[in-house]
Structure 1
Amino acid sequence: MPRCMPCVCMPCVCRGAFSEVVLAEEKRTQRLVAIKCIPKKALEGKENSIENEIAVLHKIKHANIVSLEDIFESKSHLYLVMQLVSGGELFDRIVEKGFYTEKDASKLIQQILDAVKYLHDMGIVHRDLKPENLLYYSLDEDSKIMISDFGLSKIEGSGSVMSTACGTPGYVAPEVLAQKPYSKAVDCWSIGVISYILLCGYPPFYDENDAKLFEQILKAEYEFDSPYWDDISDSAKDFIVHLMEKDPKIRYTCEQALQHPWIAGDTALDKNIHESVSAQIKKNFAKSKWKQAFNATAVVRHMRRLQLGTSQEGPSQPTLTSPCHGHLLLPEGEEEETNGCKIPGTRESQAQQIT
């Protein structure tokens, strides 16, 4: 029998391609939660995808990860009751700050590393770590950061090999773009990219031509450009280099990264870098760009079109780019089928949507 929700639901605050999110109050405790309402008709043919997301969420309980509180269903809908995260998005908070330092970035990355290490210890790979999926728990000045959106996460099985191209190109590891089998090391690469952005306000890989963007990532070609990195410590740069290592076998694990002096020691500088970082964030991650829901499960298809294939060399064909260069967009509602895995063309984290 379907279970009834003991909640009072408020007007819909966000609507996606396949679901909508409502703010709700639990009657007994008057606690606010976010409820992701998914029509069962929209799940036809995608049962494995939602079952995987639920299986992952059921396994995890961590202070820096948005949790699944409960599941209910009616004849027509599936309802995922999620922890409400109301502190806003990472970039918003940094831009609004008047004072921001390497130490602030280090503390943020430490929380992310701790949460991702927990996931990896549980045999879970997130596969889509990016600033848009990092949300503040509350509006408090010292609020913790939360990881959200486990729609592309994967539970590692015994002997299983991950090879499905997914994630967001600007944050995805070279081995994913090269269509090679990959592991939890892909999350560590993404954390390196996030760390880079937190210290300068712009992405390490950028080109208006997608083919050239992919080539940069495949070769792990990035720079610590002057003047933006002149006031950043060598320790911070060393930390990033170890995470954004092309070879996943020698790339830092979360455990190794947590022991780096920039995280565990006192090498992160106290100098205010807010003016430079916030200016670059506003320039490179405008609301119209990073508020969009996008997925990069079309990477393989797009790379074939660009004649890159699995090679790191080859002709770079001109191509029309998305409004946010480097992010491959699928039309709303369209699906990309990669290695037999269907993934919706648009997906947003529930917590991100309602903030």
Structure 2
Amino acid sequence: MHDKGIVHRDLKPENLLYYSNDPDSKIMISDFGLSKIEDSGTMATACGTPGYVAPEVLAQQPYGKEVDCWSIGVIAYILLCGYPPFYDENDAALFQQILKAEFEFDSPYWDDISESAKEFIRNLMCKDPKKRFTCKQAISFPWISGNTALDKDIHASVSAQMQKNFIKSKWKRAYNATAVIRQMRKLAMHKDDQNNAHVPK
């Protein structure tokens, strides 16, 4: 997809689908409603789903396909522990967490996860888009291409955490680009109000 210059801009678990009911079915990426061709102009629109959006999108900076790689890191994090790296009931607080790009591998949920898997996530959820893994780098990383994953069955613990976290109202709520843009404008206006309040009259 990236080789063809397509940036999805809304990667999340809900947009990953099985092609068929076969046990070894291939996985498809769906919902290209927010996707854009990279060469069609500068991308700076705040769009996507809160929780999966890259810091540069929230900072309203021009961005590229690196935003998809960040989202892949978030998805990998969730699939390995069952809860998101960033979470808050308040969108503004959630966005501040993402902008800092600070997350933890909490015990005991990450105790059985290999250091290679953690390194994979760190490289995808890197705040600086220029230092972030590309898809090609991610695919060739030993945790994906080699045999550095631990031989542990984490299904039960991850499943329990997912059920606990996905019933929260914020997880069930569907977001769209308009909602994110509206929220970002509110935050920007609030920031301007705060800055103006400190300007001497």
TM-score, with structure 2 as normaliser: 0.89
Q: Distance in 1 between matches of 2:103 and 2:169?
A: 25
In the alignment, which residue of structure 1 is the partner of 2:47? 166
In the alignment, which residue of structure 2 is the partner of 1:246? 127
Pair 240,120 (structure 1): closer, same or farther in 2 beyond 3 Å: same
Give the partner amino acid of 2:78: I
| Equivalent pair of 1:173/1:190 in contact (CA under 8 Å) | yes
Shift of 1:178: 0.4
In the alignment, which residue of structure 1 is the partner of 2:198? none
| Equivalent pair of 2:50/2:175 in contact (CA under 8 Å) | no
SS of the counterpart of 2:178? coil
Give identity over the alignment, percent.
77
SS of the counterpart of 1:169? coil
In the alignment, which residue of structure 2 is the partner of 1:89? none
In the alignment, which residue of structure 1 is the partner of 2:4? 122
Shift of 1:120: 0.8
Q: What's the CA shift string for 1:185-221, capped at 9, x where partnerless?
A: 0000000000000000000000122211111000101
In the alignment, which residue of structure 2 is the partner of 1:136? 18
Q: What's the CA shift string for 1:259-296, capped at 9, x where partnerless?
A: 11000110112210011100011111139765654314
Shift of 1:308: 7.3
In the alignment, which residue of structure 2 is the partner of 1:269? 150
Q: Distance in 2 between matches of 1:230 and 1:144?
A: 30
Q: Distance in 1 between matches of 2:182 and 2:149?
A: 41
Shift of 1:156: 1.7
Aligned residues: 194
| Equivalent pair of 1:166/1:299 in contact (CA under 8 Å) | yes
Q: Which has the higher strand share?
A: 1
| Equivalent pair of 1:179/1:300 in contact (CA under 8 Å) | no
1:233 counterpart = 2:114? yes
Give the partner amino acid of 2:68: D
Q: Distance in 2 between matches of 1:306 and 1:234?
A: 37
Shift of 1:300: 3.6
SS of the counterpart of 2:117? helix
Q: Distance in 2 between matches of 1:254 and 1:297?
A: 28
Shift of 1:141: 1.7
Pair 234,310 (structure 1): closer, same or farther in 2 beyond 3 Å: farther
Q: Distance in 2 between matches of 1:166 and 1:309?
A: 19
| Equivalent pair of 2:89/2:170 in contact (CA under 8 Å) | no
| Equivalent pair of 2:56/2:62 in contact (CA under 8 Å) | yes
1:214 counterpart = 2:131? no
Q: Distance in 2 between matches of 1:166 and 1:287?
A: 22
Q: Distance in 2 between matches of 1:282 and 1:296?
A: 26
Pair 128,216 (structure 1): closer, same or farther in 2 beyond 3 Å: same
Q: What's the CA shift string for 1:97-147, capped at 9, x where partnerless?
A: xxxxxxxxxxxxxxxxxxxxxx11101100010000001112222222111
| Match among 166, 173, 176 for residue 285 of structure 1 | 166
Q: Distance in 2 between matches of 1:170 and 1:306?
A: 16
| Equivalent pair of 1:167/1:297 in contact (CA under 8 Å) | no
Pair 288,216 (structure 1): closer, same or farther in 2 beyond 3 Å: closer
| Equivalent pair of 1:128/1:168 in contact (CA under 8 Å) | yes
Q: Distance in 1 between matches of 2:115 and 2:22?
A: 31
Q: Distance in 1 between matches of 2:33 and 2:47?
A: 11
- Tell me which stretches of 4 or more aligned residues in structure 1 moved more than 2 Å: 286-294, 296-301, 303-311
SS of the counterpart of 2:39? coil
In the alignment, which residue of structure 1 is the partner of 2:34? 152
